[in-house]
Amino acid sequence: MKQYLSFLFIAFALLSMLSFYACSAAEKSDLELPEKERPNKKGALGKLSKTKTSVAIYTTNGIEFTFRNVKRDYVSGKTSFYDIWQLWEAFGHNKKGEREANIIRPGEWETAIKIDNDFVGGFNHGFEIKRSVSFLLDGKIIPEDENIILQSFNSFYVEQESDLYAFNSTTDKIAIITKKWEFKTDGEIKFNQTVKWLSEQSLSNSYLTMLPIAREDKEMNITSKAKRDDIDEIFDVSYEGHKNPLGPAGRNKEASVMMLWGETYKFTVSVKRKEILPNSSLWLSNSKLYNKIYFDYSGKYNVTKGDIFNVSTTFRIDRLNPEL
């Protein structure tokens, strides 16, 4: 009996010591984290409002995202036949909570696939119809048509499944697309897209991540510098027509992170995929409208029935002066 009690005492002592060191290690680890990476002890919340066709998301660092539903019936020979939810644009807010600049121009963020000579997907190219969509707000399922007055939130998640059709067709279904958006409260969006091909297709491009960033707005510098993770150099992108290795001529299939910044904002797009196709690329447009980031999952590539494209993207917008 004494031996048994001694064994219990020793076991209890060992467990107590292990618990103590585990707690100490956790406390030490937390203290050693850089300030910007520590958990938000104050539990700062974002804000959100919703209608039947749009969601406005306001982050704790003064960014407003527009997430919306767009639809149009089929019109022969024109961009049409779509019904989807999508990200569309973003605004920066000043200290008073007022819009100070349109920092992300209206444009596609998620899907634009060129098959031979014709694009399909999204609002700008059409022929994409949602099968289903679900909204999860702070762990609670929200009906698609529910209206929500502006309120605080901690987590907002959307999942959509859609059918992609061949150009100018309402019957030739060529792929099933699943999109998942997770909106963080600090200016970050986690986005995952999976494309399951239902038939053979000859792809020219498959842009599964894009970001149309402004160069300037209301006399405010939005983006003037840019960098990509495969090149150890910063480039001037403050003017239309800039030429540098970040453009389509400098494509590198291994590139996965593009950063742009100006005087007030910094934009980061990071992509991850298990399979890197030979003609995949991450590049920057030099058009008049914007500095637009394009991630082309495939480039020129022939898909067969059953092929699956999968990419996980992180969109992040930071303020360079957090006091603003």
In the three-class reduction of DSSP (H, G, I as helix; E, B as strand; rest coil), residue 30 is classed as helix
The structural domains of the chain, with segments of one domain joined by +, span 47-319
Render pLDDT for 195-216 as a digit per residue (tens, 0 to 9). Answer: 999 999 999 999 999 999 999 9
- At 322 the pLDDT is 57
- At 295 the pLDDT is 98
* Mean pLDDT, all residues of the chain: 88
* pLDDT, average across residues 186-194: 97
Q: Are 51 and 147 in contact (CB under 8 A)?
A: yes
- At 77 the pLDDT is 87
Q: Could you give phi then psi for residue 123, rounded to 5 degrees?
A: -75, -40
Render pLDDT for 145-186 as a digit per residue (tens, 0 to 9). Answer: 999 999 999 999 999 999 999 999 999 999 999 999 999 999
Say how far residue 138 (Cα) sits from the centre of its chain.
19
pTM, entire model: 0.85
Say whether pLDDT at 36 is over 80.
no
Say whether pLDDT at 272 is over 60.
yes
Most distant CA pair in the chain, distance: 90
Residues 244/250/254/258 CA torsion (nearest 10 deg): 30
3-state helix, strand, coil in the chain (%, to 5): 15, 50, 40
Render pLDDT for 105-142 as a digit per residue (tens, 0 to 9). Answer: 999 999 999 999 999 999 999 999 999 999 999 999 99
* pLDDT, average across residues 50-55: 98
The length of the chain is 324
Distance CA 256, CA 268 (A): 11
- At 62 the pLDDT is 95
Tokens of 136: 């999860």
Distance CA 125, CA 164 (A): 11
Please state which architecture CATH assigns to domain 47-319: Distorted Sandwich (2.70)
Say whether pLDDT at 11 is over 50.
no
Distance CA 133, CA 315 (A): 21
* pLDDT, average across residues 257-272: 97
Say whether pLDDT at 19 is over 80.
no
Is the dihedral angle over the CA atoms 46, 51, 52, 55 positive or is it negative?
negative
